[in-house]
Each structure stands twice: as C-alpha cells, then as structure tokens.
Amino acid sequence: MEPEAQTQARPDLPDAIVPEGETAALKAALEAAEQASAAARDAQLRAVAELDNVRKRAQRDIENAHRYALERFAGELLGVRDSLELAAQSAASADAQALAAGQKATLQLLASAFDRFSIRRIDPQGAVFDPTLHEAVTVQESATAPPDTVLQVLQSGYQLNGRLLRPARVIVSRAPGPAA
C-alpha cells in the first residue's frame, strides 16, 4: 500500500502524516460539519417544541369544545324555560284559551331551538316499521293496515344530525290470524 493511500484512509493520524496543505482544508471541513450538525440539532429541537405546542393547543381546544358544547343549546332553551315560568305564574288568573296559546308559543320556541341544532323529530305514523328508528312496544292485528306498519305512535323519537337520540315508541301491525 502506498503511504498516500494510507493517509487518506486514516484521517485521525497526527498532522505530521497528513500533507500540510490538506490539514487546513480538513479543519475547515470539520468546522463546517460541526456547524451544520449544530444547526440541524437546533432545527430538530425547535420542531419538537413546535409539535408539543400544537399538541397542547389541540388538547386545550378539545377540552373547551367538550366543556362548552352545550352552551349555545342551553342559551336557546332559556327562552323556553322563561315561557314555561310565565305560564306557571299566570295559570291561576289566565283562561284556558290564553294558556293554550302560551303552550303553543312555548312549543314553537322549542321546535325552533331543535331546528337550529339539527334535532329532528321522528314521527313514523303509517310508515313501515324500522327497528333502527322505532321501538315496538306491542304488536296488534289489523285488517286495514299492511303487516309491519306503524299503527300508532306512543312517543316520538328524535335524531341529532342523523344520529338516533331516542327511538320512536310505536304499536306495529300484523296480519290477522285465523278466526277462532
């Protein structure tokens, strides 16, 4: 092996073995590599810190969304409560017609709040029974309605943005059995 080839293969040898002109170049290259390494390390630390800040910010946003998710809906219901309180206070002195009008107005306030928050009423009267939306309380024979049809709605169901909140409680028809 030639001495020059050994020198290039072993840069850790003392300056006496490395040719004089190359020592300065190697020191400059080493210093540049150390600066690049320090810059990369700094950038990596900044990226980790920024990622941690984003994670903490997202966690705070989620906590606030959970904490205040019902705030707007609760605000809408305050008008309904006010209307019910007014009806309760004036029940003794109001006539039946005024109370009925107040109840209708209160129901309209509630329906309006439901609409604003995408709460949809399920009223399946006369529809085909759907177990994903309806709860059959009982089955009743019917000669006039086709089998598996909702004969009567005992309690309306509700959906929130397409997700079932409460199924409609219904009475479902079945074909009449043989005469006994």
169: β partners: 135, 155
DSSP 142-163: -SSSPTTBEEEEEE-EEEETTE
In a domain, 150, yes or no: yes
Q: How many domains does the chain contain in total?
A: 2
Domain boundary among 51, 66, 81: 66
Task: With cut-offs at 50, 70 and 90, classify the pLDDT of residue 66.
Answer: confident
In a domain, 86, yes or no: no
Q: Three-class SS of residue 62?
A: helix
Residue identified by tokens 């040898």 is 13
User: Distances in Å between the alpha carbon of 165 and those of 79, 81, 132?
Assistant: 22, 22, 11
In a domain, 23, yes or no: yes
Top mean-pLDDT range of 15-29, 37-51, 68-82, 99-113 = 37-51
Q: What is the CATH number of the domain that holds 156?
A: 2.30.22.10
Task: With cut-offs at 50, 70 and 90, classify the pLDDT of residue 7.
Answer: very low
Residue 117 pLDDT greater than 50, yes or no: yes
In a domain, 124, yes or no: yes
In a domain, 75, yes or no: no
Give, for 120, the enclosing helix (H) or strand (E).
strand 119-122
Mean pLDDT over residues 76-105, rounded?
86
List the single range of 11-15, 56-60, 131-135 with lowest mean pLDDT.
11-15
Domain boundary among 66, 91, 111: 66
**The model's pTM:** 0.60
In a domain, 105, yes or no: no
* Contact criterion met (CB below 8 Å) for 152 and 170: yes
Show the domain range for 48: 3-66
In a domain, 148, yes or no: yes
Residue 163 pLDDT greater than 80, yes or no: yes
In a domain, 16, yes or no: yes
